[in-house]
Amino acid sequence: MHRVAISSTGLFTPPNVITNAELVAAYNAYAALQNEAHADAIAAGTHTALTDSSAEFIEKASGIQRRYVMEKTGVLDPTRMRPHFTPRPDTEISLMAEIAVKACQDALQAAGKTAADVDGVICAAANMQRPYPAMAVEIQTALGVQGYGFDMNVACSSATFALEQAVNAVRCGSARAVLVVNPEITSAHQAWIDRDCHFIFGDVCTAILVERLDLAPAGAFEVLGTKLLSTFSNNIRNNHGFMWRAEDRNPEDRDQLFRQEGRKVFKEVCPMAAEHMEQHLESLGMTPQNVRRFWLHQANLGMNQLIAKKLLGREATLDDAPVILDEFANTASAGSIIAFHRHHADIAAGEVGVICSFGAGYSIGSVVVKRLSSAGA
Work out the burial of residue 256: count CB atoms within 10 Å of its CB; fewer than 13 is exposed, 13-18 middle, 19 or more buried: middle
**Looking at 156, 197, 270, 356, which residue is catalytic?**
156
Binding ligand CO8 (rule: CB under 6 A), the pick from 20, 260, 298, 336 is: 260
Query: Quick check: 186 binds ligand CO8 (CB under 6 A)?
Result: yes
State the minimum distance, in angstroms, from the CB of residue 341 to ligand CO8: 19
What DSSP element (H or E) covers 332? Answer: none
Q: Cα(151)–Cα(29) distance, rounded to whole angstroms?
A: 38
Query: Quick check: 300 binds ligand CO8 (CB under 6 A)?
Result: yes
In this structure, the chain runs to a length of 377
Nearer of residues 130 and 267 to ligand CO8, judged by Cβ: 267
Query: Quick check: 299 binds ligand CO8 (CB under 6 A)?
Result: yes
Q: Is 197 marked active-site?
A: no
Give phi and psi for 219, each to the nearest 5: 80, 5
Binding ligand CO8 (rule: CB under 6 A), the pick from 47, 102, 189, 309 is: 189
Query: Quick check: 204 binds ligand CO8 (CB under 6 A)?
Result: no
State the minimum distance, in angstroms, from the CB of residue 37 to ligand CO8: 21
- DSSP secondary structure letter of residue 63: -
Within a 10 A sphere around the Cβ of 102, how many other Cβ atoms?
17
Helix/strand number for the chain, H first, E second? 11, 13
Binding ligand CO8 (rule: CB under 6 A), the pick from 31, 118, 156, 354 is: 156
Binding ligand CO8 (rule: CB under 6 A), the pick from 72, 82, 195, 212 is: 195
Binding ligand CO8 (rule: CB under 6 A), the pick from 123, 154, 155, 163 is: 155
Binding ligand CO8 (rule: CB under 6 A), the pick from 100, 122, 332, 368 is: 332
Q: Cα(111)–Cα(106) distance, rounded to whole angstroms?
A: 9
The closest of 244, 228, 57, 242 to 159, measured between CA atoms, is: 228
Within a 10 A sphere around the Cβ of 333, how many other Cβ atoms?
31
Query: Quick check: 54 binds ligand CO8 (CB under 6 A)?
Result: yes
Query: Quick check: 196 binds ligand CO8 (CB under 6 A)?
Result: yes
Nearer of residues 34 and 141 to ligand CO8, judged by Cβ: 34
Query: Quick check: 335 binds ligand CO8 (CB under 6 A)?
Result: no
State the minimum distance, in angstroms, from the CB of residue 26 to ligand CO8: 12
Residue 332: left if φ>0, alpha if ψ -120 to 50, beta else—which one? left
Using the rule CB under 6 A, give the single segment among 78-86, 115-123, 219-227, 299-307 that binds ligand CO8.
299-307
Q: Are strands 204-212 and 221-230 parallel, antiparallel or unpaired?
A: unpaired
The closest of 215, 11, 250 to 110, measured between CA atoms, is: 11
Within a 10 A sphere around the Cβ of 270, how many other Cβ atoms?
20
Query: Quick check: 190 binds ligand CO8 (CB under 6 A)?
Result: yes
Query: Quick check: 201 binds ligand CO8 (CB under 6 A)?
Result: yes
Binding ligand CO8 (rule: CB under 6 A), the pick from 121, 122, 126, 325 is: 126
For the annotated catalytic residues, the residue numbers are: 156
